[in-house]
Structure 1
Amino acid sequence: MVSSVGYISGQELKEIIKGPGKPGTDYLVVDVRDEDHAGGNITNSAHWPSEEFEEGVHKLIAESKHLPKIIFHCALSQQRGPFAARHYARIREHEARKSPNDFANQEVLILRSGFTGWQQLYKDDAELVVNWDPERWG
């Protein structure tokens, strides 16, 4: 079901988003930033604040268990994003053991450099970033 948690570069995620796959069907980007979520986000990402993540992880698993790829990030993907990805993978693996036929194989990934790195590269591309506020990042 889930072998391990890996990393994905901004370039690789860009190719996924701009590719033929559909968010919510072929992949999901999960943003676990809290109050720092304001100022921009990855297009079609789902906001699951880290402050509420542990209590909401079962709901996220239920909603995403069919997806082949799920990508987590926070501001820098150094603490909240990796914690959420590993916690999600651990709980998902446990739930999948109970009913393996209900779960598709899934790749769990962490976006390298988080949203900070992402917005530096792609803030001007409306296909990749929405709600970008230059005052927050200036």
Structure 2
Amino acid sequence: MSEITISDIQRISREELSSQLLSPSAPALPKSIAIIDVRDSDHIGGHIKGSTHIPSSQLDYKVPELVRILNDKEAVVFHCALSQQRGPSAALRYMRERKRLLGLPEKGEGKTEETEAKNREQKVLVLDGGFVKWQEKYGEDKRLTEAYQKDIWEFGY
């Protein structure tokens, strides 16, 4: 059993993420960040610009591929609608699979410089408040949100 638990997952606020996305040096989604949207049928009414939609129902077979594809990213941000269940669960699966595929040691095991470098290379984060909180502040900002439909969100989630 993996020692990686839900308490190991860090959160990122919508303000922190938006400032990284709007960085003057990054006209589009920075190459160092990946945003993974794990909403299922509720993936309507908009999404964070540059995010990748992978429904939570597909995670079982997509996570190993994600680990390989996103290995060069400094940060991977997961989110769902509220980031209370699907988003954190996806981040946890990703962290565990990454450790397994890259051969990272368990907590307390001997660590080599190589495994320490691999482990330091990537932060796995969950967007605090999910897309619901994101769209409240940035839904109509076309620099940050695509395909936004205000009428879907204006009366709450």
By the TM > 0.5 criterion, same fold? yes
For residue 36 of structure 1, give the secondary structure of its aligned residue in structure 2: coil
The structure with the largest helix share of the pair is 1
Aligned with residue 16 of structure 1, among 12, 17, 20: 20
The structure that has the greater radius of gyration is 2
Shift of 1:56: 0.7
Shift of 1:24: 6.4
Contact 2:21–2:30 at 8 Å: present in 1 too? no
Report the residue type matching 2:139 in the other structure. K
1:134 aligns with 2:138: no
Tell me the equivalent position of 1:84: 90
| Partner Cα separation in structure 1 for residue 37 and residue 140 of structure 2 | 19
Report the residue type matching 2:39 in the other structure. R
Q: Aligned residues, how many?
A: 136
| Partner Cα separation in structure 1 for residue 14 and residue 151 of structure 2 | 23
Tell me the equivalent position of 2:109: none
TM superposition outliers: structure 1 runs of 4+ over 4 Å: none
| Partner Cα separation in structure 2 for residue 23 and residue 61 of structure 1 | 19
Shift of 1:63: 0.7
For residue 64 of structure 2, give the secondary structure of its aligned residue in structure 1: helix
Q: Alpha-carbon deviations, 1:12-63, whole Å to 9, x = none?
A: 0001111134636210010000111111000000001001011110111111
| Partner Cα separation in structure 2 for residue 130 and residue 13 of structure 1 | 15
Tell me the equivalent position of 1:61: 67
Q: How does 1:30-69 map to 2 (within 5 A)?
A: 30-69=36-75
For residue 21 of structure 2, give the secondary structure of its aligned residue in structure 1: helix
1:122 aligns with 2:138: yes
Tell me the equivalent position of 2:34: 28
Shift of 1:134: 1.7
| Partner Cα separation in structure 2 for residue 82 and residue 126 of structure 1 | 26
Paired-residue identity, %: 35
TM-score, normalization by structure 2? 0.80
1:74 aligns with 2:80: yes
Deviates more, 1:12-21 or 1:65-74: 12-21
Alignment gaps of 5+ in structure 2: 105-113
1:108 aligns with 2:124: yes
Provide the aligned C-alpha RMSD in A: 2.1
Tell me the equivalent position of 1:94: 100
Alignment gaps of 5+ in structure 1: none
TM-score, normalization by structure 1? 0.90
Shift of 1:5: 2.1
